[in-house]
């Protein structure tokens, strides 16, 4: 398919026009006019670009792209190295940030809930990015944290009473520790995000709502892969998901 057709389809699928984001969503770096092989990954790092070139891809689709609000606009250093590789290889780069977090089926939050076996039942934040759901049966925080770690293949940091029984869950992938207070107000037993900040510990202890920091990268692997699989099936494209390890 044509690159422009792909961008327009994804803009519509992910409802890009609904979001005021921290970066441009859609086509960020123009490459070949025809798309046949898409590589998906969490972040458009140099390692992902190299892997995509080695795989023979013409298009890279990521959650974390470039040109973030308030970043240095000069094409130097890290940005120069990345753009130079993309342009030399004539590879398209498409990125979708908040729209990918939000999508009800293919999004990061939807896919994380699916992976963890949480049945979604609502949203708790004003921007609708925070999700709530329930576990099939209550379990101690210690057991649930171990389950999260086993699914994500990364040991999470769990803050709370290990013996606390949890069933209602709030979550928002990535760096969404700022949603914790809203999750507490929503009445969940435990909140999951990717990162944790110093005040989070105190809020967890004082509110009685446990907090699980499961990794920014680890919690956001599944949405972009799901979008790639969707595109491959719908348009008969080749798709390769490449996970560049990231401990954060």
User: What is the chain's pLDDT, residue by residue, as a tens digit (248 residues)?
Assistant: 999 999 999 999 999 999 999 999 999 999 999 999 999 999 999 999 999 999 999 999 999 999 999 999 999 999 999 999 999 999 999 999 999 999 999 999 999 999 999 999 999 998 999 999 999 999 999 999 999 999 999 999 999 999 999 999 999 999 999 999 999 999 999 999 999 999 999 999 999 999 999 999 999 999 999 999 999 999 999 999 999 999 99
Per-residue pLDDT at 71: 95
* Residue 50 counted as an annotated binding residue: no
Per-residue pLDDT at 243: 98
* Residue 220 counted as an annotated binding residue: yes
Domain 3-96 and domain 108-218, same fold? Reply is yes
* Residue 64 counted as an annotated binding residue: yes
Domain limits, the chain: 3-96, 108-218
CATH class of 3-96: alpha beta
Domain 108-218 has CATH 3.40.1390.30: yes
Return d(Cα 14, Cα 225) in angstroms, integer: 14
Per-residue pLDDT at 126: 87
């Amino acid at each position: 398919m044509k690159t422009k057709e792909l961008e327009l389809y994804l803009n519509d699928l992910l409802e890009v026009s609904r979001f005021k984001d921290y970066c441009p969503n859609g086509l960020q770096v123009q490459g070949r006019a025809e798309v046949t092989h898409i590589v998906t990954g969490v972040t458009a790092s140099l390692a992902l670009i190299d892997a995509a070139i080695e795989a023979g891809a013409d298009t890279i689709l990521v959650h974390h792209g470039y040109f973030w609000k308030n970043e240095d606009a000069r094409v130097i250093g890290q940005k120069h190295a990345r753009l130079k590789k993309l342009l030399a290889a004539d590879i398209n780069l498409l990125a979708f940030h908040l729209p990918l977090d939000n999508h009800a089926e293919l999004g990061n939050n939807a896919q994380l809930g699916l992976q963890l076996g949480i049945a979604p039942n609502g949203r708790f934040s004003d921007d609708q990015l925070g999700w709530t759901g329930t576990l099939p049966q209550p379990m101690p925080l210690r057991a649930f944290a171990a389950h999260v770690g086993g699914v994500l293949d990364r040991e999470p940091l769990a803050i709370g009473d290990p013996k606390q029984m949890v069933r209602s869950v709030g979550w928002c992938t990535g760096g969404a520790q700022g949603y914790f207070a809203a999750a507490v107000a929503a009445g969940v037993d435990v909140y999951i995000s990717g990162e944790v900040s110093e005040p989070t510990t105190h809020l967890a202890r004082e509110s009685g709502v446990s907090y699980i920091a499961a990794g920014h990268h680890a919690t956001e692997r599944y949405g972009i892969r799901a979008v790639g699989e969707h595109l491959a099936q719908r348009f008969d494209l080749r798709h390769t998901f490449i996970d560049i390890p990231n401990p954060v």
